[in-house]
Amino acid sequence: MTEFKFPDHALELLESLKSGRVLIGVSDGVEMNLMTVAWGFLGYTWNRPVFIAMIRPSRYTHDFFRRTDVFSVNFMSQEWQDALNFCGTRSGKYIDKFRETGLTPIEGVTTSVVVVKEADKVLECRVISREALTPFSLNESISSTFYGDHSYHSLIFGEITDSYLLP
């Protein structure tokens, strides 16, 4: 593992996010889950480096954020596109996404964080805020385009505590 400061790889990380090649890894100490994300934010707020994950309450992963304060952000190569597609279209409530995709869970620097061994780059995050989007908080064009079903995302603010490359 080689540590890095995320700004050194910011453009590459954002391109992976935009391309949907990011897996959020969560564990509550008993169960673990992966979720593919393509919407999020990488930057600084409250004088801290942060990753903000957007997760709908209907997603199984959302429940984990009631039981844990840490998560990983795993940036994957295109080689893992089938696994990314799988993790973005199946619920971990009914299946073990690691087993089904051939991805390998490993312990992060923070021992309670589950990381994907096959990731190129990893951010480990500690939750510092959970915010629910509401119709009032959004521009009407965004609300009508993306939230016709009224299933608004929660924003999970994670302070980046560790960032590293995997071999």
- Tokens matching residue 147: 């939230």
- Tokens matching residue 62: 């959302």
Residue that the structure tokens 């993306």 belong to: 146
Strand ranges for 57-96 from DSSP E: 70-75
Contact predicate 130/155, CB 8 Å:
yes
In tens digits, what is the pLDDT along the chain, a chain of 167 residues?
788 887 888 999 999 999 999 999 999 989 999 999 999 999 999 999 999 999 999 899 999 998 999 999 999 999 999 999 999 999 999 999 999 999 999 999 987 899 999 999 999 999 999 999 888 888 888 888 998 888 898 999 999 999 999 98
Please, what are the domains in the chain?
2-165 (2.30.110.10)
Model-wide pTM > 0.85: yes
Look at the alpha carbons of 133, 134, 137, 139 in this order and tell me if their dihedral is positive or negative.
positive
The end-to-end CA distance of the chain, in Å, is: 6
